[in-house]
Structure 1
Amino acid sequence: MTEKIQTPAPGPLVVAVDSSTTSTKAIVVDTAGEVLVTAKRNIQLHTPAMDFYEHHPARWWETTHETITEALASLTPELRKRVKAIGITHQRESFAPFLDDGTPVGPGILWLDGRATEQIRKYGNDHIHELSGKPAGVTPAIYKMAWVKENNPEYFEEADKIVDVACAITFNLTGRWVSSTACADSLGLFDIEKREWADELLDIAGVRRDQMPELVPPATIVDTVKPELAAEWDISPEVSVVSGLGDGQAAGVGAAAVEANVAYLNLGTAVNAGVDAANYIYDPIFRTLDSGIPGHYVFEVLQSSGSYLAGWFRETLGDPKLLGEPDPALDEAASQIPPGSEGLITLPYWNAVQSPYWDSVARGAVVGWRGTHSRAHMYRSILESIGFEMRNNLDAIERGTGVKITSLRAMGGGTRSMLWRQIMADTTGIEITVCAEDEISALGASVLAMAAIGAHEPVVDGEPNVAASAKAMARFGDVITPNMEMHDRYRQVAAVQQKLYPQLKDTFEELHQIAERYPSTKPESPKAEI
């Protein structure tokens, strides 16, 4: 547990939960966006077969309960009386089956699970993309659900409810199977313009409408916390549980990226960026999500190999004593290498490619090796390649919206690397402002909770002012200015890098067919971890 301050700003306090791929965090936040305390519990990631990624879904609530308990226990009784709401954000696209009483009846299948390549190809098309807002790819749950339907139908047949992570947490807090449209939307089962379940998509997934949760807009007060939890935590039984949003959109809200020309840039396990908009747009490169601002949308690009790829390099090819942790010596060596890594170019598709190609069988490549290249060259080339991909994807957002992005609000572990954030500024050519709060997605959930209770602006006709709360609570640190001379140089290298995927696409397909012919591990039932 990390305690930061115990002298909060006047007004209410809220608890915000972020249940992610590797852990659950709970923070207590004041109206100025200051975090009083942070508690964290790890969640074990299960990989029962190649490309299978699962959680035991009971851990979603267990870790939430433990972190909230720890965070609230650190407050004085006077501060606990000021807690007025609980907000939630979660790992998007992940889901699990439950009985009506909340008992899980199968493992949670996660967003990064890659078992559904066949179903992506079978069902994915432009019509499904336009209807759902989600390009056919590894992340949307609909294709993994279709895999379950065709390989282990009992997984769904035994379930009363099949829900996202935030809904499972909300049920345990309130006793109601309710999800925010900005949480459940990421499953890929919505008519995104209508913000409601689409029968056509439910049929593909093999699930029934009655198995889906009730839907409410984000920043809606779902109910009060269960009386027994209020008593256990020594908080008011009137504390509200507020519907939340996915962790990507939450990061944008926590960064106050609530205007069309300001994008969030999350340098996390994956790298994603997005902008908020009032109107729906369909585009083959970016995905459209329900926003944390009720009635709005988020246009988001996604690159699955972000700090994961940098960490993979450090763990696999770096100093073994560091076990993949950041390596200042490696950063220093890479910083001495000229931009462009002296002709070494990386295609960073270790975990397939999302934006702009949405190809689940794409693979990584490193092109241009010479005997004079070093580990530091490859490391720098990896960081540069992520920047090249991001600039290309931001171009697509700008074309789709007609609005030039003038600022990037950055968050995530990658911002701790001075080298990487300068490379990102130089490759994109856009000024980067680093968010001061580490738990930025949890902060975004706390913004919705504050807006729902009218902490900054009144709730008018049932409409909370999320943007006003976001601007009141966002806090910033360093500003990184791009070197435009380096940007021009990088654009030349990027033009070469962007030729690689079209030239290697058929090769990736051939490698996939061989891997399918000779699988290394027999897939196990998705009930293996329960």
Structure 2
Amino acid sequence: MAEQTRSTEGPLVVALDSSTTSTKAIVVDVDGNVWETAKREIQLHTPAMDHYEHNPIRWWETSRDTIAEVLSRLAPADKERIGAIGITQQRESFAPFANDGTPQRNGILWLDGRATEQIRRYGTEHVHQLSGKPAGVTPAIYKMTWVKENEPGVLEDADKVIDVGGYITFQLTGRWATSEASADSLGLFDIENRTWSDELLEIAGVRADQMAELVPPAQPVAELKPELVEAWGLPHTVPVVAGLGDGQAAGIGAAAINPEIAYLNLGTAVNAGVESPTYAYDSGVRTLVSGIPGEYVFEVLQSSGSYLAGWFREALGDPKLLGEPDPALDEAAAAIPPGSEGLITLPYWNAVQSPYWNPVARGAVVGWRGTHSRAHMYRSILESIGFEMRFNLDSIERRTGTRITTLRAMGGGTRSKLWRQIMADTAGLPITTCVQDEISALGAAALAMAAIGAHGSGEGPNDVATSAEAMAHFGDTTEPDTSLHDQYKDVAAVQRRLYPQLQDVFEDLHILSERYPSTKPESPKVED
């Protein structure tokens, strides 16, 4: 990426993104130029099959250290310009805490799949309508119910049960508070009324007094603690601004602020979404609180994105590369005809979210011949993710009544020219790449800038859309090949038949896994 000009006027903000694998902090100016970046890894714990956890202390320690690092690189005059801190974070993840912030168990993450039985017992259409979330692996409500039923006392005895952003906000300000656009992903939210639902809290086994206070997105939560102001060498205190989940934040960072423009995140998972001024729920999408005050986001989620491509490279690729991108493999896959010569993949390695929301679904590869190679399978995996996305974009368009004209893409998958072209061809839409790597952090920065009225739009201090448009930067556009799109539609029609025909097989495999469970011991305590 070419070096950007730094704005000499206007405020700077610090934006934090605490994700599944790491925490990043950036310093950003009013034009969206990123001045400094810092990153700290977070260890992922897997105490049992389908269990994914973090030590919540790492959420704070990595946040503290990355913010300290980026601020330490600023000149004194530039520290004077720091106007706010914005936050985005992995969604749906949570942990129980004591009042002083001490974790009472490891945090359970969004990708954790332990709560299959709870999903099936409590995941009704009514819960979907109330929360905006279809019954699936990600919402925290079902994993909280699992803890209630399998670890008695853990939730009941906690003073607070909080999302990642809420815990970081507490450490920054001393206030147990979180953004509406962070809290809603837990699945405990009456999303139309923007408040905790007593009915959903009861299912989860938690109480209203254990929840964080709610703050609308792009509103100041509280001032930064004096001891942090001093430790970070700031000449004055600054507000910590209510942020949003990392998926919605990516959309704001891409200035995808109307239903014709969708954000497409080619990350560990693949998700896409559009803005909506009104609330609705639909079996094909999940509805989230937007970072634009008063609005919503219709989002689709595919659990296996660059994770699946990386899994292939690590398990079946060049062992010397340890799963890293392989130009030779990309070149070989690019030489394979579209459709992978009859090899078709169902990419449900991590269950399926949109549109089936089935926690026991599994992956499949169908159509093997002796002439197929590793490159065929790799291309088939990439194509399958594109087929699923086109199917899911259809769901979004049905809900909004608006045809999507452009995809704005971010995430590690955008670095693959082959994958970008396959996604454009299967979707039949142009894909414009966002320049900034830390696109979710940029979205949080846009909310922080809006909170302090940095862009003077005349719409008040919380005009997030104006800040998003002022701060977004775009790179190349990959145009779809219309003839290949027509060919891919035929292949996708065959691929779409696989899930209904394998659904009963997935149920049988789930029964076997319950009958013969993993013997790896669980570890509910807080782990280093």
Whether TM-score is above 0.5 comes out as: yes
**What amino acid is the match of 2:349?**
W
- Deviation string for 1:3-28 (max 9, x for gaps)? 96684341000000000000000000
Scaled by the length of structure 1, the TM-score of the pair is: 0.98
- Match in the other structure for 1:471: 469
- Deviation string for 1:445-498 (max 9, x for gaps)? 00000000000035756x600000000000000001000000000000000000
Alignment of 1:335-484 (within 5 A): 335-457=334-456, 464-484=462-482
- Match in the other structure for 1:280: 279
* SS in structure 2 of the partner of residue 154 of structure 1: coil
- Match in the other structure for 2:486: 488
- Match in the other structure for 2:497: 499
**What amino acid is the match of 2:246?**
D
Kindly indicate whether the alpha-carbon contact (under 8 Å) linking 1:273 and 1:301 is maintained by their aligned counterparts in 2. yes
- Match in the other structure for 2:173: 174
Moved more, 450-459 or 405-414: 450-459
- Match in the other structure for 1:148: 147
- Match in the other structure for 2:292: 293
* SS in structure 2 of the partner of residue 219 of structure 1: coil
- Deviation string for 1:197-243 (max 9, x for gaps)? 00110000000000000001000111111111111111133311101
Kindly indicate whether the alpha-carbon contact (under 8 Å) linking 2:156 and 2:205 is maintained by their aligned counterparts in 1. no
Alignment of 1:156-171 (within 5 A): 156-171=155-170
Kindly indicate whether the alpha-carbon contact (under 8 Å) linking 1:218 and 1:448 is maintained by their aligned counterparts in 2. yes
RMSD, aligned CA: 1.4
* SS in structure 1 of the partner of residue 275 of structure 2: strand
Q: Are positions 1:188 and 2:175 aligned together? A: no
**Aligned-partner Cα distance in 1 for 2:357–2:436:** 31
- Match in the other structure for 2:34: 35
Kindly indicate whether the alpha-carbon contact (under 8 Å) linking 1:51 and 1:114 is maintained by their aligned counterparts in 2. yes
* SS in structure 2 of the partner of residue 275 of structure 1: strand
* SS in structure 1 of the partner of residue 155 of structure 2: helix
**What amino acid is the match of 1:283?**
D
Q: Are positions 1:215 and 2:214 aligned together? A: yes
Distance 1:161 1:140, change over 3 A: same
* SS in structure 2 of the partner of residue 349 of structure 1: coil
**What amino acid is the match of 1:517?**
R
Kindly indicate whether the alpha-carbon contact (under 8 Å) linking 1:51 and 1:115 is maintained by their aligned counterparts in 2. yes
Kindly indicate whether the alpha-carbon contact (under 8 Å) linking 2:103 and 2:526 is maintained by their aligned counterparts in 1. no
Shift of 1:155: 1.5
- Match in the other structure for 2:247: 248
Scaled by the length of structure 2, the TM-score of the pair is: 0.98
**Aligned-partner Cα distance in 2 for 1:526–1:205:** 17
**Aligned-partner Cα distance in 1 for 2:3–2:217:** 28
- Match in the other structure for 1:111: 110
Kindly indicate whether the alpha-carbon contact (under 8 Å) linking 1:289 and 1:297 is maintained by their aligned counterparts in 2. yes
**Aligned-partner Cα distance in 1 for 2:496–2:257:** 30
**What amino acid is the match of 1:48?**
P
Q: Give the counterpart of 1:526 among 521, 524, 527.
A: 524
**Aligned-partner Cα distance in 1 for 2:275–2:155:** 35
**Aligned-partner Cα distance in 2 for 1:3–1:101:** 45
**Aligned-partner Cα distance in 2 for 1:324–1:439:** 22
Shift of 1:527: 2.0
**Aligned-partner Cα distance in 2 for 1:32–1:529:** 41
Distance 1:7 1:280, change over 3 A: closer
**What amino acid is the match of 2:339?**
G
- Match in the other structure for 1:102: 101
> Where do 5+ consecutive residues of structure 2 fail to align?
none
Shift of 1:154: 1.9
**What amino acid is the match of 2:421?**
Q
**Aligned-partner Cα distance in 2 for 1:4–1:512:** 51
> Where do 5+ consecutive residues of structure 1 fail to align?
none
Shift of 1:524: 1.8
Moved more, 342-351 or 515-524: 515-524
Kindly indicate whether the alpha-carbon contact (under 8 Å) linking 1:152 and 1:525 is maintained by their aligned counterparts in 2. no
- Deviation string for 1:356-389 (max 9, x for gaps)? 0000000000000000000000000000000000
- Deviation string for 1:160-213 (max 9, x for gaps)? 111000111101110000100000100000111111100110000000000000
Shift of 1:150: 0.4
**Aligned-partner Cα distance in 2 for 1:183–1:246:** 5
**What amino acid is the match of 2:517?**
P
Moved more, 473-482 or 230-239: 230-239
- Deviation string for 1:260-282 (max 9, x for gaps)? 10000000000000000100111
**Aligned-partner Cα distance in 2 for 1:298–1:411:** 17
Kindly indicate whether the alpha-carbon contact (under 8 Å) linking 1:334 and 1:379 is maintained by their aligned counterparts in 2. yes
**Aligned-partner Cα distance in 1 for 2:2–2:53:** 31
- Deviation string for 1:382-423 (max 9, x for gaps)? 000000000000001101110000000000000000000000
**Aligned-partner Cα distance in 2 for 1:161–1:131:** 23
**Aligned-partner Cα distance in 2 for 1:522–1:376:** 34
* SS in structure 1 of the partner of residue 154 of structure 2: helix
- Deviation string for 1:237-265 (max 9, x for gaps)? 33111010000000000000001100000
Kindly indicate whether the alpha-carbon contact (under 8 Å) linking 1:261 and 1:406 is maintained by their aligned counterparts in 2. yes
**Aligned-partner Cα distance in 1 for 2:55–2:339:** 43
- Deviation string for 1:32-66 (max 9, x for gaps)? 00000100000000001111100000000100000
Alignment of 1:249-264 (within 5 A): 249-264=248-263
- Deviation string for 1:270-327 (max 9, x for gaps)? 0000000100111001000000001000000000000000000000000000000000
**Aligned-partner Cα distance in 2 for 1:108–1:263:** 31
**What amino acid is the match of 1:378?**
M
Distance 1:5 1:433, change over 3 A: closer
* SS in structure 2 of the partner of residue 155 of structure 1: coil
Kindly indicate whether the alpha-carbon contact (under 8 Å) linking 2:15 and 2:441 is maintained by their aligned counterparts in 1. yes
Shift of 1:523: 5.0
**Aligned-partner Cα distance in 2 for 1:526–1:340:** 45
Shift of 1:103: 1.1
Q: Give the counterpart of 1:509 among 490, 507, 510.
A: 507
**What amino acid is the match of 1:389?**
E
- Deviation string for 1:64-114 (max 9, x for gaps)? 000000100011111111111000000000001111111111111000000
* SS in structure 1 of the partner of residue 402 of structure 2: coil
Kindly indicate whether the alpha-carbon contact (under 8 Å) linking 1:12 and 1:84 is maintained by their aligned counterparts in 2. yes
**What amino acid is the match of 2:415?**
R
**Aligned-partner Cα distance in 2 for 1:3–1:180:** 34
Kindly indicate whether the alpha-carbon contact (under 8 Å) linking 2:47 and 2:520 is maintained by their aligned counterparts in 1. no
Identity of aligned residues (%): 72
**Aligned-partner Cα distance in 2 for 1:485–1:92:** 38
- Deviation string for 1:114-170 (max 9, x for gaps)? 000010011001111111000000000000000000000222122111100011110
